[in-house]
Amino acid sequence: MQIQLNSAQGVSMSPALEAHIHKHLQGVERRFGERLTRIEVYLTDVNGPKGGVNKQCKLEARPRGGDPLMAEFLHEDAYDSVTGATKRLENVLGSYFGKLDRRPSGRRQAPMAGEEGEGG
């Protein structure tokens, strides 16, 4: 699984912030790493120089053979936005893969009441 870091103007990607991101994504990687191709991290400063609650972290996970899943978190601190987004992503992935694991594999859905089968 790859981790791709992207930061926009207003958020500097320091070595400490990179280490924080990798540290928090370790849990996601341990739990779901074999089922994901990559996670993209997007950090942006939503309000620019105005300040306030403006550091947004978006995490986009790419499941193997599936559509991308996203989680985001907004906070005044970039580190806290990464932490919040990571927790949300773990919940999203847990739900997604939980549903996949409960689905009977290789079984077609039975026709609904009132529907006729082929050749009927």
Count of structural domains within the chain: 1
Q: Is residue 59 part of a domain?
A: yes
Span 7-59, pLDDT tens digits: 887 788 899 999 999 999 999 999 999 999 999 999 999 887 776 668 999 99
Question: Which of residues 47 and 2 earns the better pLDDT score?
Answer: 2
Q: Is residue 58 part of a domain?
A: yes
Write the CATH number for 96.
3.30.160.100
Q: Is residue 53 part of a domain?
A: yes
Q: Is residue 114 part of a domain?
A: no
Is the model's pTM score more than 0.85?
Answer: no
What's the rounded mean pLDDT across residues 93-116? Answer: 69
Q: Is residue 61 part of a domain?
A: yes
Q: Is residue 107 part of a domain?
A: no
Q: Is residue 70 part of a domain?
A: yes
pLDDT of residue 10: 79
Span 56-83, pLDDT tens digits: 999 999 999 999 999 999 998 999 999 9
Q: Is residue 106 part of a domain?
A: no
Domain encompassing residue 25:
2-101
DSSP of the chain, one letter per residue?
-EEEEEE-TT----HHHHHHHHHHHHHHHHHHGGGEEEEEEEEEESSGGG-SS-EEEEEEEEETTS--EEEEEEESSHHHHHHHHHHHHHHHHHHHHHHHHHSPTT-PPPPPTT---TT-
